Chains A and B, each alone.
Chain A
Amino acid sequence: MTFYKIYDEITKRFSVIDRTPSFFQGLKAIFIRNFKIIWQYKFSTVLNFVNTLIVSSLFYYIALLIPDMQIEQDLYIVDSVSFIFAGFVLVNIATKILNKSLNSISSEMKQGTFETLSTLPFGLRKYFISEVAFEMIYGFITSIIFFIPIFLIFPIFRNVSISSASFFSLLLVLLSICLFFFSLSLLAANFTILIKRGKEISLVILSILHLLSGSMFPLSVFPGWLKIIAYFSPFTLGVQAFRLCLFGNGILTDSIVWSAVLFLILSSIVIIVAFLFTYKRIYKRIRETGSIHEY
């Protein structure tokens, strides 16, 4: 082999390294990396379950304080424990998606690995989508796994009978809520790289949505003006529709259910468009100001 041939071979190999991985290759790599990290912190996963159990106890005891332990909303009456738990389940899933997505990005910033991630050929935008997708799927699955023993421990949803049509409508509402929080996490991640403090941003968004959703009480306790504001939050409609499917045998043809699904999907699309629109501007700005390494 002549010197030139060897030189060509070396050049070819280096150019292969520069090849941009496809979205699915990157997604797979991020899923594998995150699972490896979770596996290293097994004890934290156990503690997360314990925390969910403790917070469930909090909502259970609070629900016991309600007079007659019954709550009425949208023409159905249900025991206060089930009513509050239905809201809590959704808040828990939403928290897992948004909080963990932003925490993961903040943690990369804090450890100094975010700068490296942004220079990889895979691209920061694809990284955000893959990371948030992982947190959404992982958060959804862990919530289901965590809540199975909790539903057995506490007397929740014992008297609830649900038709198959209501069950599928409920699943659709749940998926729409996940999609909404997926898009919200993407947009929030975008702003996190600009203004930092991802944890605080996620907590403020979540607590406002939690308050307006009426997860702990029926929306009738709100004054008129706050009720109007609350209905601007897609999560409020999602929680209301979820409860209607669960307790009032609501199905997709009910105006509350279909309007919630439609509103959640439309909001998700608008938020994703906003993410794509703001991404380039924000990325350009942090490159210009040289603030990518700050946290």
Chain B
Amino acid sequence: MALNYKSSFLMIIALNLIMIVMYFFFSRLNPDITIFGIDASYFEFCIIGLCLQMVVGTSLGTVCANIFNEISAGTWSSILPFFNFLEYSIGTTLAGAFISSFSIFIALGFTYLIAGFFFVITFQEIMLIFFLFILILISHMAISMLFAAFTIYYQKNSSLVSTLYHLTKTFTGIVFPVSLLSGFPLVLSKSLPLTYGLSTLQSILFSSSVDFRGYLFNCLILVSLSIIIGLIAWFLFSYSLKNAKKHGKCDWY
């Protein structure tokens, strides 16, 4: 009788679709975003961010959540002798992102059904989007690795992941343009990787002209953030693991 993980996954897809329906009805209030220089209707604008958010959420939480599960299930101490942090992070993130990316296709199909809305994109744009998608995944995987280091050190699930998820959802231009922000919220927005990824994606999909310099600049920021955060995560992970081994905390939780 218990629901299996497949039904749980279907429930998550249903949740995502309900969220899209909610913004579909909100778009009926005619929010005008062309004044922010975005040549699209509100629903066209936010569907991109909402779809991307489904995968970003997964890559943000996967590594950290999986390590916490290993700790609480008691398997952490047994996988440690063969543990490769990078391999584990890439594997869990790719698996999570692959499964959650189905949500994107389902969401886009659903959007076509309820709003009759679809994208026409060229092969070149598909390649650009794919490349961007990988960069966004890597940058969020690096953040998840950073939080995983805290999880190993404190043997607790890091609530910071949920805070960062809320920050990403709010300040990266998913449901409203970033140009609406000023002061500290704008600084916050500029420090989040998804802001650069999403602005490039929106530019590829909505702008009639191709701005390769702009794309390259945003991609470089994503790469730099991934490297910096990844290195800090690696350092903190090594320290946390050493600390856990030294104090015999590998079987605690």
**Chain A contact residues: helix, strand, loop or mixed:** helix
Which residues of B have CB within 8 Å of A251? none
Closest to A204 in B: B11
Q: Which size class do A's interface residues fall under? A: 35 or more
A91 to B12, CA, bound (A): 19
The answer to whether the Cβ of B76 comes within 8 Å of any Cβ in the partner chain is: no
CB distance from B158 to the nearest CB of A (A): 9
Residue from the list B1, B22, B30 in contact with A291, Cβ < 8 A: B1
Quick check: B163 and A62 within 8 Å, CB to CB? no
Which residues of A have CB within 8 Å of B231? none
Quick check: A66 and B159 within 8 Å, CB to CB? no
Residue from the list A54, A111, A207 in contact with B18, Cβ < 8 A: A207
Quick check: A197 and B166 within 8 Å, CB to CB? no
A294 to B2, CA, bound (A): 8
Which residues of A have CB within 8 Å of B30? 67
CB distance from B68 to the nearest CB of A (A): 11
The answer to whether the Cβ of B216 comes within 8 Å of any Cβ in the partner chain is: no
Quick check: B18 and A58 within 8 Å, CB to CB? no
Quick check: B163 and A57 within 8 Å, CB to CB? no
Quick check: B11 and A221 within 8 Å, CB to CB? no
Which residues of B have CB within 8 Å of A67? 29-32
Q: Which of A12-20, A136-144, A210-218 has 4 or more CB atoms under 8 Å from chain B?
A: A210-218
Residue from the list B3, B14, B28 in contact with A196, Cβ < 8 A: B3
The answer to whether the Cβ of B26 comes within 8 Å of any Cβ in the partner chain is: yes
CB distance from B38 to the nearest CB of A (A): 12
A55 to B167, CA, bound (A): 8
Which residues of A have CB within 8 Å of B19? 207
Quick check: A204 and B29 within 8 Å, CB to CB? no
The answer to whether the Cβ of A280 comes within 8 Å of any Cβ in the partner chain is: no
Which residues of A have CB within 8 Å of B223? none
Proximity bits, B166-185, A CB within 8 Å = 1, else 0: 11011100011000110001
* Known contacts A200-B11, A221-B28; is-contact A195 B167 (Cβ 8 Å): no
Quick check: A65 and B162 within 8 Å, CB to CB? no
Number of interface residues of B (CB under 8 A): 37
The answer to whether the Cβ of B244 comes within 8 Å of any Cβ in the partner chain is: no
The answer to whether the Cβ of A50 comes within 8 Å of any Cβ in the partner chain is: yes
The answer to whether the Cβ of A194 comes within 8 Å of any Cβ in the partner chain is: yes
Quick check: A47 and B163 within 8 Å, CB to CB? yes
Which residues of B have CB within 8 Å of A210? 18, 22
- Find the residue from B8, B33, B159, B162 having the highest chain A CB count within 10 A: B159
* Known contacts A64-B176, A200-B8, A207-B15; is-contact A54 B170 (Cβ 8 Å): yes
A201 to B3, CA, bound (A): 10
CB distance from B52 to the nearest CB of A (A): 16
Which residues of A have CB within 8 Å of B169? 58
Quick check: B22 and A197 within 8 Å, CB to CB? no
Which residues of B have CB within 8 Å of A211? 18, 21-22, 25
Which residues of B have CB within 8 Å of A113? none
Closest to A216 in B: B26
Which residues of B have CB within 8 Å of A51? 162-163, 166
Residues of A near any B CB (own CB < 8 A): 43-44, 47-48, 50-51, 54-55, 57-58, 61-62, 64-67, 71, 110-111, 194-197, 200-201, 203-204, 207-208, 210-211, 216-217, 221-222, 285, 289, 291, 294
* Closest A-B pairs by Cβ, 8 of them: A65-B31, A58-B170, A221-B28, A54-B166, A200-B11, A196-B2, A207-B18, A47-B159
In the assembled complex, 9 residue pairs joining A and B whose CB atoms fall closer than 8 Å, in A order, are A44-B159, A51-B163, A54-B163, A57-B170, A58-B166, A58-B169, A61-B180, A216-B22, A285-B1
